[in-house]
Every structure is written in C-alpha cells, then in structure tokens.
Structure 1
C-alpha cells in the first residue's frame, strides 16, 4: 500500500522526513532549512512535487532489490524524483553503474554523496530550489568540482559527458583518474584503445602556461 502525502505535507515550508529516516546521521547536517517527520511516500520531500529516496550503498549491497521497489512505489508520486546515494563502500563502481542505468530508465535523477555532511547539503539545496523548475534544480545542484572536472575532461578529443560520469563513477576523483593505468581505463564501457590513449596522453602531458608555450 502506498503512502499518500496530505495537503499539509504538499504545502509545507519545511523539509519533510519519512519516519524511516530516524537515526540517519544525515539529519544532523540539515541545518539551513527546518525539517520535521511526516507521513510521506519519499524519504525526504523537498518540495510539493519533489521527492528524494536515500540509499546507502552498504545497505544496497545487502538488499539490492530494496531501492528498485521504492522507485516503483514513487513512480507516479512526484514530478522530480531523486536518488540520493551515500557512497559508503570502497568497491562502489558496479553498483553506481547499475543505479545510473536504472535512474535513466525510470526517470530519476541520481546524486552521489561521499559523506553524510554532503548529503545534508544536497537536501538543503533541493529545498532552497523548491520553486524552480526540475531542470534548473538538476543543473544547479551539480557540484562545482564535478562541473569543472567535466569541463576539463571533455576538452580531450572523443571524451563526452557520459565518459566523464563513467570515469567519476569508477575512480571517484580527478587524482585517481590521472593515476589510472591504461589497462584499468580500457575496462570501462565505451573506452576503446584510441580513447584511452588520448586520455592518458592528455592527463600525463605537462601543463604549460600560454606565455611559456610561446617562449
């Protein structure tokens, strides 16, 4: 049986939190906006038509079917449906790839949080953009680091935004991408020999300032 939001929950000025989130340390980092527990279908309701499902990869490894059932339950509940994923295991690459595919197919937006504090900031930002369009929320909540990383890597010939997402999902940081071996890169979906070679050459080449290059 699905839980239906009340009129009060639909018009709340607070972040509404499902009772199943009691004890989640993320709550201690939601400081810039008020929140309260409520009878809602999502884990966090951050707007009249915006619902968030919270997923720990550690829990996902134990019960992989859980999040897919929750996604089905929420499919007709909100215009903007978000999976806020806590990356709390080391071998996260395969799980993130599977979740990314599931979110694309089901019309969800996936955000990765590498700490409880970052997850709290995401929820605060979702609420702050409650009256913006879903597309604006998706664009605005991208972290500066990820945006800058994307802008940097797509300058490499044949590397696109999907490739950047694949790289980040597998290696987690620019430092790890730079340190990855050609063999490791070649295992990624969509990374053929030519693309791997171009990426390795780009990240391992010395950086020259414009004036230095002309001297």
Structure 2
C-alpha cells in the first residue's frame, strides 16, 4: 500500500503571517496588527511560524456545520509542531460546544485558543508571529498589553474585584463592552458577586472608571 505524501509546509514569507485564500474577506484580518500578512496556498487557515499552523472556527458556524472542523483537522494530518484551533465564541450558550471542541483538540494534538472578539483573535495571531523567534523566558516574563490583560487590569482596579471575578465576568458576558453595560441585576447573577462587591463595580461603571 502506497503512503500518501504529506502536503508541504510553506515557508513563512519573512515576518508575514500566511493566510489561506479561503479566509479572504474574513473581518478578522483587519485586526492583525504590527505584523503583515499575505495569502498563500497552505493547509491551515493561518501559518504564524515555520512550525505553527492555526485553524479558525466560529462557534456560530460550528453549531450549524459540526462536521466542518473534523474535515479541516483531517486535512491538517500531522503537519506542524504547534497546531492551534483559534475559536471565536460568538454564541450565548457556549459551554457545551467549548467542552466538545476541547476534547476534539486533545485527541488530535491541537491547542485550543478561545477568543471572545475578532480583535482578541487578531491579537493572538499577531503575538504568535511577533514572538516566533523569541526565547521562551522573554515571553513568560513579558507584561503584555493584549486584550485579556487590559480587561483584567481594568476590572481588578475596582475594589474587591479579583482575577477569579474577572474570569467569571468574561465567562458570563464575553466582551469588556458587555461587562461595562451590564445592569446591576445581571451582575448580581454572577457567582461571588455579593452586595458590597456589586456596589463597588456598579459605582465604577457610573463614574466612568471602566
């Protein structure tokens, strides 16, 4: 039985992210900052390094076409040392879908990255490319200014709000904009948000400190 040859990995175009032509018109592209991108015939949706490839998936699309991601992973075969599933969480009921996709990623040796907005997804892709040749310790020590860090910094500046609370808020509301515009009644439904903590958070909203 003949062995099917693996599709070649296209060498990166200098400092550019390589983009599969099927992603042409994806609004995510406008959120790739500080690094160029170019279209190329590659197997994944994005190639952010010589050994790093990323598949792109929106939960809204996955809900309608659950078979799609399986066919994309099959085409990826064993290419790339770091294989990423970049997931856009654009549905309200997302827990079961993310759990299912995490299991699929574990089975197929993929790393799942969940983004709540296209802006956040663009930051992830840009950061992977920008730090392609950086030593790991530099990346670990870096105090980054990415979307998630900005949200965490802004929310923990409110008295009594900690990192666990930030994760709770992001899980329930998704984007920073949704958190800022949430009503006191909606915030009160979040685990761990008692009367005092709620008072500080609502006060920060009303004063424009968020």
TM tier, smaller:
0.5 to 0.7
* Alpha carbons 2:20, 2:41 under 8 Å: kept: yes
| In structure 2, distance between residues paired with 1:166 and 1:4 | 42
Cα distance, 1:87 vs. partner?
Answer: 3.3
Change in CA separation of 1:167 and 1:43 when aligned onto 2, cut-off 3 Å: same
Change (3 A) 1:204 1:181: closer
What residue in structure 2 maps to residue 4 of structure 1? Answer: 7
Question: What's 2:58 paired with?
Answer: 56
Give the TM-score, by structure 2 length: 0.64
State the shift of 1:86 in Å: 2.6
TM-score (norm 1): 0.63
* 2:117 alignment counterpart: 114
Q: Provide the secondary structure at the position in 2 that maps to 1:10.
A: coil
Query: Any gaps of 5 or more consecutive residues in structure 2?
Result: 202-210
Cα separation, partners in 2 of 1:16 and 1:203, compared to 1, 3 Å: same
Distance of 1:2 and 1:167 partners within structure 2: 47
1:178-198 residue CA offsets vs partner (Å, 9 max, x unmatched): 75467x55xxxxxxxxxx4x4
Work out whether residues 178 and 200 of structure 1, in 8 Å CA contact, stay in contact via their aligned partners in 2.
Answer: no
Gaps in structure 1 of 5+ consecutive residues: 186-195, 208-215
Q: CA RMSD in A?
A: 4.0
What CA distance in whole angstroms lies between the structure 2 residues aligned with 1:2 and 1:146? 45
Residues 29 and 181 from structure 1, CA distance in 2 versus in 1: closer, same or farther, beyond 3 angstroms?
Answer: closer
Q: Is the 8 A contact 1:15 1:33 kept in 2?
A: yes
Q: Larger helix proportion, structure 1 or 2?
A: 1
| Counterpart for residue 206 of structure 2 | none
Q: Distance in 1 between matches of 2:135 and 2:173?
A: 31
For residues 111 and 62 of structure 1, the distance between their equivalents in structure 2, rounded to whole angstroms, comes to: 19
Contact kept, 8 Å, 1:84 with 1:113, in 2: the verdict is no
Whole-angstrom distance in 1 between the partners of 2:76 and 2:26: 21
* 169 and 45 in structure 1: CA distance in 2 versus 1, 3 angstrom threshold: same
**Aligned twin of 1:190:** none
Q: 1:56 to 1:3 in 2, by over 3 A?
A: farther
Alignment of 1:57-206 (within 5 A): 57-74=59-76, 76-103=78-105, 106-115=109-118, 117-132=119-134, 136=139, 143-148=148-153, 165=167, 168-172=170-174, 173=176, 174-175=179-180, 176=182, 179-180=185-186, 185=190, 196=191, 198-200=192-194, 203-204=197-198, 206=200
Contact 1:3 1:41 in 2 (8 A): no
